[in-house]
A = this chain, B = another copy of it.
């Protein structure tokens, strides 16, 4: 197992506020449930400040949750280069309210030398899909210092 994935595994059960290297990840404050090569699962709690004027989870924060864990998942593969998001396409299927627990999963479909392609999804505790996304990331020239 690569050392980055090993480090992620040691963080299972910990909250984003404690361990996330992403400032927004600390604000989103998910709890890492599971991590494997190319897939990661986190649980998030919807807070009022994450909501839109209708009082339901803001589409931008749903996107943030998926984008954040996809970045973590790509990073957990242990590659030496940094991948940067090129685009993200998100579909909103159902609403979520404050105090709901959401299960957010990522899946790396392809990790090419130039382009990585990944999917994300958010489900509520009843298993209903709240949102899903696909995204492409480009390998940058920046190496990662660990």
Contact = CB atoms under 8 A, between A and B. Distances in A.
B92 A84 contact: yes
Interface in A22-57: 22-27, 48-54
Nearest to A27: B49
Interface in A62-105: 63-68, 71, 75, 82, 84-93
Contacts of A54: 82, 84
Contacts of A60: 24, 60-61, 63-68
Contacts of A21: 53
Chain multiplicity (copies): 4
Contact of A87 (B49, B61, B92, B110): B92
A22 B114 contact: no
A68 to B, nearest CB: 6
A131 B139 CA distance: 18
A136 interface: yes
B64 A58 contact: yes
Contacts of A68: 52, 58, 60
Nearest to A72: B53
